[in-house]
Amino acid sequence: MAFDNGMIDLRSDTVTQPTPEMRKAMAEAVVGDDVYCEDPTVNNLQETAAELMGKEAGLFVPSGTMANLIAVLAHCQRGDEAIMGNLGHTFLHEVGGMSALGGVFANTIPNQNDGTLSLEDIRNSYREEDVHHPESRLVILENTQNACGGIPLSVDYMRLVGELAHQLGMKLHVDGARIFNATVALNTTAENLAAAADSVMFCLSKGLCAPVGSVLCGSSEFIARSRKIRKQLGGGMRQAGILAAAGLVALKSMVGRLGEDHVHARQIADGLKELPGIEFHKGYPQTNMVFIHIKSNASKNPEELRTYFANKGILFSFSGPEHFRLVTHYWINDADVTRIVNSFKEALV
C-alpha cells in the first residue's frame, strides 16, 4: 500500500493507518461495556491474544506504554526496582512512568550490541536481601529490541533470562511491542518467545496497522490485578470493541505479511551500503528498521539530508545527531523502496 498523499513516511511503523478490512470490521463490531467485561469483541481479542502468547489471560489497553506501566505496577511495590536495558523503551521513552506513578526504581544495565542484556549483568545487578537495598523484583526484556536496531532476541536467550530471573526470585516482563516481527525473523511463535515470561505485551498499532491498542498477557491472577490498575490509570474503556475489532483483523491478516517489511528494510540497506558517507551502525537490518550513521565525509550533513528528503516527501527520524532511523511497514511498497534508494543516491553521490 502507499499513503494517499504520496508521502513515504519512514519515521516509525506507528504511522501506519487501519486497512479497509479493519475499518469495515470496526464499523460492524458488536460492542458492550468493557469495564463490565461485557464487550464480546474485546473479550475475543483478549482470548485470542492470550492463546497466541501461551498465557491464561489478556487485557486490552490503549497503548504499549500503558501495558508496560501496568505490568511494572502489577509486579512491583513502591520502592522495588526493575532491572532493564539502558536502551530499553521502558527506560528511554516512557516518561519515567514507573517511578513517577509507581515509585519503582529503574536499575539499568547496558544493552549489548545484539540487543541482549548479559546474564552476568543481570545477576550482578540483582541485590541480595539487605537492609540498605530495594527489592529487585522484575527484569524487563524488549523483543524486538528497537534502539539496538530492531534486533530479535532468540527463544533460547529469552528462556535463559527467564530461568535466571526466577532463580533469583524475580519476575520477567517482555515488552513485545514488535514481538511478531521477532517471530517472523526467527521463524518461531510468540508462545515460544514468551514461554519463560511472567507477562508479555504486544502492540497492535505498529507494524500490524491497527489504529489503537496493545494487549498485556499473563496469568489470570496477574491480569485481574492488571485490570484494576488499568482502571486506576483511567484506562478502562467502554465500547472498546470498535478498536478491538481492528486488533482482531491485525492478528488475522497482518502478522503473516511482516516479512515483506523485513525484505524492504534489507533492500533499502542493500541499495545504500555502497554509498559514500553511510554506515549501518546498528548492523544490517534483521527486521523492519534500518539505522544509518551519516559520516563526516558525506556530501551533505544530516540536517541538510533530512531537509532534502522532506522536500521529496520522504520522512525519517533522527535517532542521534548523525543517525537516522528508517522503519518499513505496510504503507511502504516496492516502488517506494526504489524511490528511497534512488533519492539517497542522488543526494550522496
Ligand X SMILES: Cc1ncc(COP(=O)(O)O)c(C=O)c1O
Q: From CA 176, how far away is CA 202, in angstroms rounded?
A: 5
- Positions touching ligand X (CB under 6 A) are 14, 63-65, 68, 89, 142, 146, 175, 177, 203, 205, 214
Q: Rounded CA gap, 174 and 162, in Å?
A: 10
**Dihedral of CA 222/197/205/68: which sign?**
positive
DSSP letter string over 208-225? T--SS-EEEEE-HHHHHH
Residue (107 or 146) nearer to ligand X, CB: 146
Is residue 29 within 8 Å of 237, Cβ to Cβ?
no
Rama region for 134: left / alpha / beta (φ>0; ψ in -120 to 50; rest): beta
Cβ at position 90, least distance to ligand X in Å: 7
- Among residues 258 and 305, whose Cβ is nearest to ligand X? 258
Name the residue among 98, 96, 55, 100 with its Cα closest to residue 73.
Answer: 98
* Distance between start and end Cα atoms, the chain: 29
Q: Which is nearer to ligand X, 109 or 151 (CB)?
A: 151
Question: CB 131 → ligand X: shortest distance, Å?
Answer: 35
Q: Compare residues 151 and 170 and give the one whose CB is closer to ligand X.
A: 151
For residue 275, what is the DSSP state?
Answer: S
Task: Give the CB-nearest residue to ligand X.
Answer: 64
Q: Using an 8 Å Cβ cutoff, are 104 and 159 in contact?
A: no
Bond into 144 cis (ω within 30) = yes
User: Smallest distance, Å, CB 242 to ligand X?
Assistant: 18
Q: How far is the CB of 70 from ligand X (least distance, A)?
A: 12
Beta carbon nearer to ligand X, 154 or 343 = 154
Nearest approach, Cβ of 205 to ligand X (angstroms)?
A: 6
CB of 292 to ligand X, least distance (A): 18
Joined together, the cell numbers standing for residue 98 give 514507573
Residue 209 to residue 17: CA distance in whole angstroms = 6
Residue closer to ligand X (CB basis): 201 or 223: 201
Helix or strand (DSSP H, E) at 46: helix 40-53
Is the CB of 97 or the CB of 134 nearer to ligand X? 97
Residue position matching grid coordinates 542521534: 320
Shortest Cβ 88–ligand X spacing (Å) = 8
